[in-house]
Amino acid sequence: MSALSQAEIQKFKKQLRDRGTDLREAIHASLLNSDNKTYSEVAGRVLDIGEQSVVDLLADFHIIELEKEAAEFADVEAALARIAAGTFGQCAGCKADIAIERLRIYPTAKRCTECQTRHERMAKDMTPSL
């Protein structure tokens, strides 16, 4: 059970939805302004298709220039899915409640600060050194 009130969750939901819309429009504009003909064609589809598929669409066309935007879009979608599932604000690592101050700054946070730090340290250790 999340410690967040319904009103707080609704606020995060709106914030995330708005961010998703902004990102979608930013992705659309970047594609449209590209000299690449394929990108311009893909741009037309970005605004009509379902939420999750924007990320798939960019991946399908190997549009790596927008990888950062696509990754953030995927994070926003995942956070909205957690709201729908009732697990928003719960740490994916220790299952404790993520501090609301952290969520206000970073509403797509999957982990509490401690677990995130541990996770990043682990990911770094696992990077193969060639």
- Is the backbone of residue 102 left (phi > 0), alpha (psi -120 to 50) or beta? alpha
- 18 touches 57 (CB < 8 A): no
Identified binder of Zn ion from the candidate list 58, 91, 103, 109, rule CB under 5 A: 91
Q: Write the binding mask 48 to 87 for Zn ion: x where contact by CB under 5 A, - elsewhere.
A: ----------------------------------------
3 near Zn ion, rule: CB under 5 A: no
Q: Which is nearer to Zn ion, 53 or 87 (CB)?
A: 87
* Least CB distance to Zn ion at residue 78 (A): 17
Q: Write the binding mask 27 to 46 for Zn ion: x where contact by CB under 5 A, - elsewhere.
A: --------------------
- Run of H or E residues at 65: none
Look up residue 15 and give its two tokens: 């914030």
Q: Which of residues 93-122 bind Zn ion (CB under 5 A)?
A: 93-94, 112, 115
CA distance 116 to 102: 12
- 97 touches 90 (CB < 8 A): yes
